[in-house]
Amino acid sequence: MEIQDKVELCFPHLLNTSCRKPTLHWFEAVLLNILLSSISVITVVLNLLVIISVSHFRQLHTPTNILLLSLAMSDFLVGLLLMPVEIFRKTNCWIFGDALCSLYCYVCVNIICASIGNIVLISIDRCVAICYPMHYPNRITVSRVQISVCVCWLYSAFYSSFYVKDVLIQPDSTKFCFGECVLAIDYITGTIDFVLNFIIPVTVIIVLYLIIFVVAVSQARAMRSHVTAVTVQISLTLTRKKSELKAARTLGVLVVVYLICYCPYYFYVAFEDNVISNASGSAVVFFIYFNSCLNPVIYALFYPWFRNSVKHIVTLRILKPDSCEANIL
């Protein structure tokens, strides 16, 4: 009887319980590492620019930008922590033990949940700004937004504990072999997550933007019908409305990109496999991570203040005294 071809194991001394090493060809592995590592570096750099911009320049200390700062922070952590680990999981055996695997799963769910919460808060902010422009400064203040952001992150931390409870309590129970780090999701947990982290947020976001669209159209018609009366006042109102609508359109693009990137993951978990470990599972997870790279690109395309602040940062004008008072808008 012929001896079967030997396969490389992650832990050769654990013959019956060790996972096989990833079978990517060396050229494929190098190409994949270069591509994904480049996306990770770009994600870190772009979101760091957003964080520095909003934190440093006082003109940017607005409620909406505080929400963008929170979203940029979660995107920054995706590029700095989650992407490199996902690249390692894809191309190597897991050699860091169960504790770090559990920590990675927890941090992963925490950051993704916080990102979804930030998107919902951004949608609420734009809805109030468009629908109740006269009351917006009183209802949406920087302090209230900061409290909302803190609540969002605290909720994410609590929710993540529930979501990965099996991995945290019994790490070995979710593994099929030694040398892998997987996030196993049972049917009940997956269903609850699908409702709480996808159906409800997406429904809220879509309803809010439908309201924004209806109100914006009605306001535009009302302004055009009264354009001959009180010309100066109408001109100032129109300018303010155009600014708010432009911000709403920009953040609308942000939301659409979010939906495109997150939908494959939740449909995969809901209808395919509840263990995020195989090739397709890794693909949908990295598609979510790629959203963190796209968000600051959207800012660069639609926000002049972001381009201006980047110029100040790159040319080191940010190091000058009183640079935080610079005119960025």
Tell me: pLDDT of 236 over 50: no
* pLDDT on residue 7: 64
Three-state secondary-structure class, residue 245: helix
**Among 25-39, 107-121, 143-157, 258-272, whose mean pLDDT is lowest?**
258-272
CA 132/CA 12 separation, integer angstroms: 66
* pLDDT on residue 232: 45
* pLDDT on residue 199: 87
Angle separating helix axes 279-302 and 231-271, nearest 10 degrees: 170
- Model confidence at 175, pLDDT cuts 50, 70, 90, reads low
CA 168/CA 184 separation, integer angstroms: 11
**Among 37-51, 141-155, 156-170, whose mean pLDDT is lowest?**
156-170
Torsion of CA 249, 250, 256, 262, to 10 degrees: -150
* pLDDT on residue 148: 95
Q: Is 178 left (phi over 0), alpha (psi -120 to 50) or beta?
A: beta
Assess contact for 198 and 266: CB atoms under 8 A: yes
Assess contact for 50 and 58: CB atoms under 8 A: no
Tell me: pLDDT of 47 over 90: yes
Assess contact for 43 and 83: CB atoms under 8 A: yes
Tell me: pLDDT of 226 over 90: no
Read off the pLDDT of each residue in 235-240 and give the average, rounded to a whole number: 51
Reading the block at residue 22, the tokens are 């990833």
Assess contact for 69 and 148: CB atoms under 8 A: no
223 or 149, which is more confident: 149
* Nearest one of 135, 149, 131 to 64, comparing CA atoms: 149
Tell me: pLDDT of 72 over 80: yes
* pLDDT on residue 322: 84
- Model confidence at 276, pLDDT cuts 50, 70, 90, reads low
CA 139/CA 125 separation, integer angstroms: 10
Tell me: pLDDT of 194 over 90: no
CA 229/CA 235 separation, integer angstroms: 10
CA 204/CA 253 separation, integer angstroms: 16
CA 56/CA 215 separation, integer angstroms: 34
CA 193/CA 155 separation, integer angstroms: 14
* pLDDT on residue 174: 61
Tell me: pLDDT of 252 over 80: no
CA 299/CA 307 separation, integer angstroms: 8
Can you tell me which residue has the tokens 């607005």?
Answer: 62
Please report the sign of the dihedral spanned by the C-alpha atoms of residue 259, residue 261, residue 262, residue 264: positive
CA 198/CA 193 separation, integer angstroms: 7
* pLDDT on residue 24: 66
* pLDDT on residue 43: 93
* pLDDT on residue 245: 61
* pLDDT on residue 142: 92
Tell me: pLDDT of 105 over 90: no
Domain 64-78+91-288 indexed as CATH 1.20.1070.10 = yes
Domain boundaries in the chain? 64-78+91-288
228 or 94, which is more confident: 94
Three-state secondary-structure class, residue 9: strand
**Among 21-30, 176-185, 311-320, whose mean pLDDT is lowest?**
21-30
* pLDDT on residue 6: 57
Give Cα 243 to chain centroid, integer Å. 25
- Model confidence at 90, pLDDT cuts 50, 70, 90, reads confident
Read off the pLDDT of each residue in 39-44 and give the average, rounded to a whole number: 92
Torsion of CA 268, 259, 122, 67, to 10 degrees: 70
**Among 44-48, 91-95, 170-174, whose mean pLDDT is lowest?**
170-174
78 or 187, which is more confident: 78
Reading the block at residue 282, the tokens are 């890794």
Tell me: pLDDT of 225 over 70: no
Over the chain, what is the mean pLDDT? Answer: 80
